[in-house]
Structures are given as C-alpha cells and as structure tokens.
Amino acid sequence: MTDSFPAFLDRRLETLAPEALRRHQWERLRALALAAVPANPFITAQWQWAGLAGPDDLRGWDDFRRLPLTRKSELVEDQAAHPPFGTNLSYPLERYVRVHQTSGTTGAPLRWLDTQESWEWWARCWGFVLRGAGLGPGDRVFFPFSFGLFVGFWAGFEGARALGALAIPGGGQDSAQRLAAMETLGATAVCCTPSYALHLAEVARERGVALERLGVRATVHAGEPGAGIPAVRARIEAAWGARAYDHAGMTEMGAYGFECAARAGLHVNEAEFIAEVIDPATGRPAEEGELVLSNLGRLGSPLLRYRTGDRVRVAREPCECGRSFLRLDGGILGRVDDMLIVRGVNVFPSALEGIVRRFAAVDEFVIEVYRRGELDEVRLLLEVTENAMPVVAAVQEAVRVDLGIRVEAVPVPGQSLPRYELKARRLVRRSSE
C-alpha cells in the first residue's frame, strides 16, 4: 500500500525509534535556524533574548529550551506595529505566494504568509492527516468550504491532491447543492468542521437524502475539537455511516495533529513539529497542560515554542497503529482560558458538549455563561425537536451526575440557534444575568 504514496509520506518517519526521531527533529531545527537567523527579525530577537548569537550557538536541546515561549499576543502586536504582515519573515516579500488569516475568534485576525516551499509543507502535513484516516489514491475527497482566507481546508485540499486523491472543491454552494455534488461525483470522504457535518446531516434529513448511502466512508474534522468528543463522534458516524477522524491545526502553526485507525486520541506529527506540554501557570513540563509547538518545515515564517492555548493530556502507552508519534489522550480537551469554574468545579465547555450531544433530540445548543455575584453560572439553551421538557430535564440530570454541577437548561425553538460552516461559537459570555 505504501508504494502508491508519494515519497514524502515515507511511512518510516512515523515509526522512528525515539532517538532517531529526536535526531531527525534536530537536523530539521538546524536547517530552520540557518534559514531564519539572522534573516528573520522576529525569530532573531527571540534568539538574542535567549543569549544565542546565531545558528551555531544551537548546540543541544538545552539551548532550544532556552528560547522564549511565544504568545499569540506578541504576534498580534508585531503585526500591529509592522502592518500588514509583521516581521516574522525569513525572506523578501516577493518570495511569498499564499496569504491566509485566522478567524479572529479571540481578537484581531492574524495574517500569515507562506512561500512555495512552506505551502508544499502544508500539503505534506495534511498528507499525514488524510492517510491517518485511511485515505489515499482512488479516494474522492469533498471540501464543503467557501475557500476564503481561512487556511485549514485550503491546505487540506492541497493535501488531498499531494496524496494522489481526487480533491473536490465545494465552495460557492449551499448545503443542498453540496449534498447533490457529493452524490454525483462519488465522494468517498468529506473534510469539514464537526458542526458542519452535523448541519449537513440535518439538511439531508429534511430533504429525505439518505446520507449513509452516499458512499462516504471517512469524515475528517478540523477547526473545532468536536470529533474528539465521543458523543459528537458517535452522532456524526451514525448520521453519515462513516468513520469520523479528528484533526488539529492552526493558521499560525500548521496542521499538526491527526488520528489513526485506532482513533485513540490525536497523534502529533513529530516528523514536522516539536511538541512540549507545560503547566500553563509555571511553564514547567507537565503530563497534562498547555500544548507548546514548534514547526520545522515552514522556514519562511516559522514559529518556535508557541503557546497554542490548547489543553491536552499526554498518553504514554504505545499506539496499536505502530506510530511512535506522541499521542494526546482525548485530543484537544479545551482552551486553557475557556475553563469555567462553576460552583468550585472546573468545567470545560467540551465536557458539556459531550453530554448534550448524547441526546439525539437536541439539534443545536449554546452554553451561556454569566456571573452571579462572584460565581460563574451556566445556562444551556437547547434546540429540541420534540417533547422538549423531558429532554431538557434529562440533560440537566446528566450534567449533574457526570460533572457534579447543577446548570439551568432551557428549550429554545427549532432553527433559532446559529449554524456554522467554520468554527462554531457555542460558548457565549454574558456580562450579567
């Protein structure tokens, strides 16, 4: 099977022994240092801060760990001070061929440039993701995505092509047209956010389209952590009659996480990224905490020791797929700063989603958070198809049993909550009740 894949997807990279993997990363890091220091003002400033004068001062992993952690706010400030692209550029502007930007969910959008080489690197990283989902030449991968400035599915589209699969663009279409295109063109896989997969399932149901007969055997999900939540995954798989795979990536970092056939959490692609997990408060190494990443192949605009803001837990047992890449148990558990403290209990919105999605009668939901005195209070708005009150009461009871907290849950009319093609915003903070 490996023979039909392009050479860059050499399976041996995924199964390297730990020392060989570190050596591979080290060689890539050296190459990055030579390209970015001293040509790249942003990276060079970080090296100077760490007391490293040039690439030759990088002698061992201790030197790497002296580099400062990079925060998103620094990137935003750098772009504000040097508009529009900031100073994290290793080459003259004319070397760059792609521009994308973040969704701006948490503040001003961040713009990011890629060179030919780093755009090919993106495709390569997505090749790992799609192959992890068992896809390859002969597959037809549909992208129900509007192909705007958000990088995720552009890169996935390129990844499908690089892998030798047929990439089908689904831009400029509404959901019904997308369902028809998938059927006509014989799509075998779909890449979209978990929310949009559920939305397409809703549209199919309304139109009497039997989704499970379309022939889609895998769905690959990015943009939100949902596919790593068992109840969300089960719901997508039941609707599509396909296996759902989680994926994690960021505009400023790259496509770093993917699931294999075992679907035992996210693998971090350590052939292309260095992963660290730290205690977000102290910065010390931790088994559960904030994921810190460095990318090794985006030489034109690299990021070293970047605080992703994602909370993860390291799985230590080897994966049955044989990959030696780091595995994150349960995928992305939530955003470090999204954690709610409800009556003294730490609660991630993803935990609430995991409960709500177990109830088939709930089509959509919103988590409202507001302050009552000094406390966070949560109210769940549930869009329930029929028999609302018993369902609402059952959700409340499940939250109480599973998480040990009491939340208010209220039914809202069908189709009254927003649907999303990209990142869903189901957590709403209200200033007061």
Nearer of residues 275 and 367 to Zn ion, judged by Cβ: 275
Burial string for 131-165 (b: 16+ CB within 10 Å, else e) reads bbbebbeebbbbbbbeeeebbbbbbbbbbbebbbb
Q: Contacts with Zn ion in 177-236 (CB under 5 A)?
A: none
Q: At closest approach, how far in Å is the CB of 19 from Zn ion? A: 20
**Residue with Cβ nearer Zn ion (36 or 328):** 328
User: Shortest approach of Zn ion to residue 261 CB, angstroms?
Assistant: 7
The answer to whether residue 13 forms part of the interface with Zn ion (CB under 5 A) is no
Measured from the CB of residue 14, what is the shortest distance to Zn ion in angstroms?
Answer: 9
Tell me how far apart the alpha carbons of residues 166 and 349 are, in angstroms, rounded to a whole number: 36
Q: Please state the three-class secondary structure of 29-59 as a single string.
A: HHHHHHHHCCCCHHHHHHHHHCCCCCHHHCC
Report residue 78 as tokens. Answer: 């750098």
DSSP-derived secondary structure for 210-230: -GGGS---EEEE-SSSGGGSH
Q: Which two tokens stand for residue 243?
A: 């296996």
Of 323 and 335, nearer to Zn ion (C-beta) is 323
Task: Find the shortest distance in angstroms from Cβ 248 to Zn ion.
Answer: 14
The least distance separating Zn ion from the CB of residue 132, rounded to whole angstroms, comes to: 8
**CA 338 to CA 106: how far, in whole Å?**
11
Residue 101 or residue 269: which is nearer to Zn ion going by CB? 269
Give the nearer residue to Zn ion in terms of CB position, either 176 or 321: 321
Least gap, CB of 26 to Zn ion (angstroms): 24
Closest residue by Cα to residue 6 from 229, 213, 160, 144 = 160
Give the binding range for Zn ion (CB under 5 A) out of 11-19, 74-82, 253-261, 307-315.
253-261
Q: What element of type H or E holds 100? A: strand 96-101
Helix, strand counts (H, E) of the chain: 11, 20
Nearer to Zn ion, 144 or 228 (CB): 228
Would you give the binding string for Zn ion spanning residues 255-274, x where CB under 5 A is met? -----x-x------------
DSSP H helices, 112-229, are 116-132, 152-163, 175-185, 194-207
Q: Footprint of Zn ion on residues 292-331 (CB under 5 A)?
A: 319, 321, 323
Of 103 and 324, the one with the shorter C-beta distance to Zn ion is: 324
Looking at beta carbons only, is 72 or 323 nearer to Zn ion?
323
Q: Which of residues 157-186 bind Zn ion (CB under 5 A)?
A: none
State the nearest-atom distance from the C-beta of 391 to Zn ion, in Å.
36
Of 96-104, 214-222, 243-251, 254-262, the segment contacting Zn ion by CB under 5 A is 254-262
Q: How many residues bind Zn ion (CB under 5 A)?
A: 5
- Beta carbons within 8 Å of 390's beta carbon, 6+ residues apart: none
Q: Which amino acid is at 421?
A: E
Measured from the CB of residue 315, what is the shortest distance to Zn ion in angstroms? Answer: 10
Give yes or no for a contact between 32 and 57, defined as CB atoms under 8 angstroms apart: no
Residue ranges binding Zn ion (CB under 5 A): 260, 262, 319, 321, 323
